[in-house]
Amino acid sequence: MQSFYREEHDPLIRCEIDLGSHVDVSLLRDAVGVSIAAAPLVSCVFDERTGRWIEAGCDATDVVCVVDAGNDLSLACSELLRPLDHHAGPRMHIGVVRGNEADSLCVVVDHMFCDGAGLKQYLYLLARIYTAMEGGSDGLDLVRGYPLRRDLGQVTQNLGAKNRLRAVLSKGAGVGAGSTPQLLSGNGPAEAHLIRVTIAASSLSTAADMARPMGATVNDLLLAAYARALCKRTGCTDVTLPCPVDLRRFGHPGQSFGICNLTSNYFCHLTIRDDEGFDEVLADVAGQMREQKEGVGCLQGPLLFHAIARVLPRNALRRIFFAVAGVPVVSYTNLGILDEGRLAFGSTETRGTFIATATKRPPSFQLSASTFRGSCALTSCLYADESDLAVAEGVLGGVRDEIVRFSA
């Protein structure tokens, strides 16, 4: 699926980790080298012709580089937008943007290697290895016996035949249901941008407290705010938003997964009237999300896709994929909470972090959310001229303003 996505955008996931001091670059390279035992695809490339991963002959020295920034820490944005070579080199880049007093780690990974949850899993492992090495260990015990499975069977083996059949026969939410707001024009010459807006921890916490009696989650809050911001910006009253779901939720308690992609989608179909309040939209979102979470319908697409992928040639599979699913024009993803305790690189304090996703081309647009220390970073990576950039910034600011107004 991610290889097909390359026709629409560059499927990369990005994470910036702002440190309180300088990291030991040599130690970081050693830690990356050890981590490859748990994430062997880092040193591979994907052969489109055979559909196989092949060794690319690269190592940690190809992954980690240092960028001297001095006082210009805006270079971190350039490192985050840095593309990967899909035909050679590693599937991950870590740029150590070195300021005068502290570093920012800019991690870029191929979405074919892992999803957002997989990236967090890898970063937590890398931080543990680095910390162990700083303490004098070789870190090898942390990767010895690490799970390497990447297949959907990690999830479906826990379902049983009855639930698998329920998933296949379930009534799908429908990618094409509803309408898609036309947000970006794509008329002018475009450059790559990363936009970021922050929702303060106090506003998010208050809004979450107010939403809880309605049975709504923080994710529901963000979806409702995004839908309202899109409709206000475009004048559209109907919107369908895909909401990624981590399929690891179907695993058994304590199950360990390999670093991989295990994502499907819920779908939220909304009609928003001019006189409708935020709480009404939120209740609608919460109800739809609750209903889908109680079922197994989100497994239908992955199960069917994996089944036909075993028997159909790549070209036929591609045609079916774009005819039935394709890439949503307007999308959303919530990468969840980045755990401060698990993202500690030895004695170096982590002061801030966020995750961003693929660089979209107009008319496509994606909002990404991630939370650290209670505050939520809203990000979007896109190719845009000045006009489209202003529109995109307005949408992200609008999402934040919806949450702030609701919390007030």
pLDDT of residue 179: 60
User: CATH homologous superfamily for 158-338+349-407?
Assistant: Nonribosomal peptide synthetase, condensation domain (3.30.559.30)
The pLDDT tens digits of the residues spanning 109-155 come to: 999 999 999 999 999 999 999 999 999 999 999 999 999 999 999 99
Dihedral angle computed from the Cα positions of residues 233, 235, 237 and 238, in that order, rounded to the nearest 10 degrees: -70
Report pTM.
0.95
Query: What is the distance between the alpha carbons of residues 375 and 305, in angstroms, rounded to a whole number?
Result: 36
pLDDT of residue 172: 59
**pLDDT exceeding 90 applies to what percent of the chain?**
77
pLDDT of residue 176: 44
In terms of Cβ atoms closer than 10 Å to its own Cβ (0-12, 13-18, 19+), residue 313 is: exposed
pLDDT-derived band at 178 (thresholds 50, 70, 90) equals very low
**CATH architecture of the domain covering 2-142:** 2-Layer Sandwich (3.30)
* Domain ranges in the chain with CATH number 3.30.559.10: 2-142
* Domain ranges in the chain with CATH number 3.30.559.30: 158-338+349-407
pLDDT of residue 175: 47
Token pair listed for 239: 């919107």
Whole-angstrom Cα Rg for the chain = 21
Residues in Cβ contact with 224 at an 8 Å cutoff, skipping those fewer than 6 apart: 216, 278, 281, 282, 284, 285, 402
pLDDT-derived band at 177 (thresholds 50, 70, 90) equals very low
